[in-house]
A and B are shown apart, each in its own frame.
Chain A
């Protein structure tokens, strides 16, 4: 494998991130994010690049990368579907959504489809308990209040390269007050 490297633009971004903190080491989490954005994962080679760039031990970067679940320690599908099954999502059908996805894609949680398009992961609470069940697409946008139909539509859209947009979940009480005011 050719030696990995950051572009000048990425190095500038890394300098900006380092400037947030009194030590270069403190930027480890952020630079791992930059690296994952670039390579799609932080396999050992990528971790070594981060270590070299920040001038910190490889063991330190490996320790950090392996501690946090959002870093992909191996290649994942183009879209990673993180399905929450924790407490409130469990109560509201999170497992049904997970199993529906597994059936639709013919893989189990933790696996990637043969075409490299989708990875399904079962994850812990994502902080969207009032909009359960829900999932997050590749560490990005939240898709709330899932039904099987909504999941099917999401898969279709993703296959066509259409990422869902951020959905603002208004404070329900405000919504109710607004409705009352508009009458």
Chain B
């Protein structure tokens, strides 16, 4: 499966000009999945839609990799009150820039997927939360939403049925933490993006205290594929435990960076060398970050036979994350890179939990000291120790996300950090 990625034809963003226009989308089978369900609700009860999506095992594309259908099944039975789907388009994890491609090139696939999700979960209102920097893409999605309303796919009595679903777009104003699902709910409610303590989980107590499910944009765009072709078909794409097409965002020191759609399970080295055109300037590969800045980096010598799916990456001590692959060449200074990552998490910590608010600051400060040539060997252990005191001790996973790169970069590139400390002003001490 992973070997024949070269013959794979894109499914999420196929090469069809003007696919963002509803006419073109419809001509190419768009909204057929929604019609299939709403026109045959004996076959496609709400429960059977959830079951099909669960069987397909669409692993969440926002980073956590949780089975989307299983997540949907956590929603309680309807009680007549409002129920929400909150679509997470806040993508802000460094190295991640793929959901904007869906807004730009195939927005209706996402709209259709979120409508199917809403039908399955008896949701009446969909909120789409997009990062505030993406105003250009908010406008693009709004155009598509307006078209979908005009055609009767959104709004009252969709396609003449008793199903009514609204979609509201809104955007943030610059805060990475709002990509954390409960912080996003707070932001949607017009507040500071402070993550909520779980439990209660959003399915029980989400937006304005009502049942809410949060899904990533790309995750929802996979849903019509499953309904049109079946869970078995979907499960045959890519890696067995983590199937489906993925938008790989490739950045850093490659000749052809960008977003590429291929199945999961593609060899990391193929992605770098064949898809992204190899390393710039003919240099050697030093390291990668496989799925956004929080996923542990891997050395080039760890990558033989490693593929882009959760099991394979877990085996070598990393994660799939958002599939935002950052590539670093042989000249990369890992101390500088790690300091910059730590700076990011310090800047983006919301400040609610002391271990994170203070810990991210200490990580940055100590790394700055090492970077500036004032580090001591004991600082490396201090960094690891601070990290251990942060991980698992906070409301949300931002602290963990800050700790993982520190721990694994130091462990996997320890000689580089030690060398910097040995050459520092404290070297004789």
User: Taking beta carbons and an 8 Å cutoff, which residues of A are in contact with B?
Assistant: 20-23, 25-30, 32-33, 60, 63-64, 67-71, 85-88, 90-92, 124-132, 136, 139-142, 166, 168-169, 171-174, 177-178
Contacts and interface: CB of A to CB of B under 8 A. Distances in A.
B59 interface: no
Contact of B324 (A69, A129, A132, A169): A129
B94 A86 contact: yes
Given A87-B94, A87-B326, A127-B91, A172 B172 contact: no
A29 B170 contact: yes
A130 B82 contact: no
B332 interface: yes
Q: Is the interface of B mostly helix, strand, loop or mixed?
A: mixed
Nearest to A145: B257
Given A127-B96, A129-B324, A67 B91 contact: no
Interface of B: 10, 13, 15, 82, 91-97, 100-101, 104-105, 131-136, 168, 170-176, 187-193, 208, 249-253, 256-261, 275, 289, 293, 324, 326, 328, 332, 336-337, 340-341, 344, 347-348, 350
Given A68-B175, A139-B133, A129 B208 contact: no
A71 B326 CA distance: 30
B256 to A, nearest CB: 5
Interface-centre pick from A60, A124, A127, A132 (highest chain B CB count, 10 A): A127
Contacts of A169: 258
Given A20-B168, A64-B191, A130-B249, A86 B340 contact: yes
B258 A130 contact: yes
A142 B168 CA distance: 25
Nearest to B253: A91
B259 A88 contact: no
B258 A32 contact: no
Contacts of B191: 25, 28, 60, 63-64
Contact of B344 (A33, A86, A92): A86
Nearest to A68: B173
Contact of A69 (B174, B261, B289, B328): B174
A174 B104 CA distance: 14
A141 B253 CA distance: 25
Given A127-B97, A168-B104, 16 more contacts: A21-B190, A22-B82, A23-B208, A85-B340, A86-B94, A87-B94, A87-B326, A87-B337, A88-B326, A91-B326, A125-B96, A127-B96, A129-B257, A130-B257, A130-B259, A173-B258
A139 B344 contact: no
Contacts of A87: 94-95, 289, 293, 326, 337, 340-341, 344
8 contacts: A25-B189, A63-B192, A68-B175, A86-B344, A129-B249, A129-B324, A173-B260, A174-B15
Given A90-B337, A142-B136, A68 B174 contact: yes
Contact of B190 (A27, A90, A172): A27
Contacts of B258: 130-131, 169, 171-173
B347 to A, nearest CB: 6
Nearest to B132: A70
Contact of A127 (B134, B135, B190, B260): B134
A68 to B, nearest CB: 4
Nearest to A56: B190
Contact of A67 (B93, B94, B193): B193
Given A28-B190, A129-B95, A129-B324, A70 B257 contact: no
A141 B328 CA distance: 28
